[in-house]
Structure 1
């Protein structure tokens, strides 16, 4: 059966992928490493895959940001200018990616995903201890935050982890506080990028909505899961899935024979 050009089997695969990504992302992070390869493997053009990924991913970061602000994990006055810097960086990155040749982009995205997957697997878990900042808030806001935002606008996977790591290593925040701030910055970059992709007509709504539902159900299940696996095993599972889908994508393109 087909629905608007998509088979029921493909839509179910994407729903299931989003469910797994939402579930794992809630417990260990890295859901974007699963979703973007799945979208590319399903046959979406690279820009449409990036845009649709932003549509389904914005829901999760919006929910997380609302909860962070509502529960006073972060204060609006402390993050509003950081969010603006992240927004501007993401807008510039998303505009830039529109001008990349599609054939080049189909090579760059898997390469970036491969590098991020390896980093995600081997990077140490930051400690939850406040330390002295290595950069001033002004430099951090003007250069580091928009740079990560630019990356999110161009590609995306791993952005939340990069914001959290930057908060810990450069601003001296504990892991919990850095992660809370990272949620708000990731929402800002997602919504900025999504606006540009919508303007460019690069969002596949049916796929995005199906995956939004999968993300919500997966995140709900993850947050209520009583069995807590070691994050290292979950990270390994994320990387294996990412590399498996990238290999399948490479075969479909004829890169591996």
Structure 2
């Protein structure tokens, strides 16, 4: 049974700050917040819904920070953002109707593969490279697919956006991170819109954690903008590996 005490509030605020910092750089903030929300007594569905509330604050802060430094052209990305949001809305709406057990078995393998790719692939830096998929096709297929996954399952969506931007869109690591935060924000908002109707998020808790997310995300984005791929790559490898290990632990 969840009861908000001073001690629990401080724990949730600390989790929100840490998640905002990590998520702004490499994604995977849910690794921190979802277990903490469940640890303090929230049922799983309510924890996921509340996590969407607080996560939106951090993603918005990171997206604005990157856009302000010219890493994202919002005018050219609004269609992709809208498609990510619609994907998140559809995914969250089908949570109780689609089997996700098989996906949870395959997901750790995919995440470890992403970690190995960013750890060992030579030449991954902040410079753009050859685009393997047209912008229109990428926005119409890859973006809503990952957005759908974000609404349906959630963990690892940031890593999938990153991988897609680097390997298919040809973005450098810093630019890929910036665009990931924008699309993550909108797929998160799409999922939140659906969870708000069916998942009963605790808005006060989500907003409280969201305030800490803003501070953590602002600091994380500033560091990423200053250091670039030298910070983003190792943190992405670590968060993807930890998320894979956590998912494996849940399956055992």
TM-score by length of 2: 0.77
2:6 is aligned to 8
Aligned residue for 1:97, secondary structure, equals coil
1:211 is aligned to 209
Aligned residue for 1:203, secondary structure, equals coil
Aligned with 1:23 (options 21, 28, 40): 21
Structure 1 residues 24, 64: closer, same or farther in 2, change over 3 A? closer
For the 8 Å contact 1:33–1:117, the answer to whether it is kept is no
Aligned with 1:177 (options 175, 178, 202): 175
Structure 1 residues 201, 27: closer, same or farther in 2, change over 3 A? closer
Aligned residue for 2:186, secondary structure, equals helix
For the 8 Å contact 2:159–2:240, the answer to whether it is kept is no
Shift of 1:189: 0.8
TM-score by length of 1: 0.75
For the 8 Å contact 2:16–2:213, the answer to whether it is kept is yes
For the 8 Å contact 1:113–1:157, the answer to whether it is kept is no
Distance 1:30 1:197 in 2: 20
Structure 1 residues 245, 18: closer, same or farther in 2, change over 3 A? farther
Q: Can you list the C-alpha shifts for 1:206-256, whole angstroms capped at 9, x where unaligned?
A: 32123213323433554677xx89663785478559957996xx6xxxx97
Shift of 1:52: 0.9
1:42-81 aligned at under 5 Å gives the runs: 42-81=40-79
Aligned with 1:136 (options 120, 134, 137): 134
2:145 is aligned to 147
For the 8 Å contact 1:31–1:238, the answer to whether it is kept is no
Distance 2:33 2:211 in 1: 13
2:163 is aligned to 165
For the 8 Å contact 1:32–1:157, the answer to whether it is kept is yes
For the 8 Å contact 1:37–1:246, the answer to whether it is kept is no
Aligned residue for 2:118, secondary structure, equals coil
Aligned residue for 1:6, secondary structure, equals coil
Distance 2:15 2:105 in 1: 21
Distance 1:129 1:168 in 2: 10
> Structure 2: which 5+ runs fail to align?
none
Distance 2:8 2:111 in 1: 24
Structure 1 residues 49, 199: closer, same or farther in 2, change over 3 A? same
Distance 1:164 1:118 in 2: 14
Structure 1 residues 161, 241: closer, same or farther in 2, change over 3 A? closer
Distance 2:103 2:17 in 1: 22
Distance 2:247 2:191 in 1: 24
Distance 1:49 1:108 in 2: 22
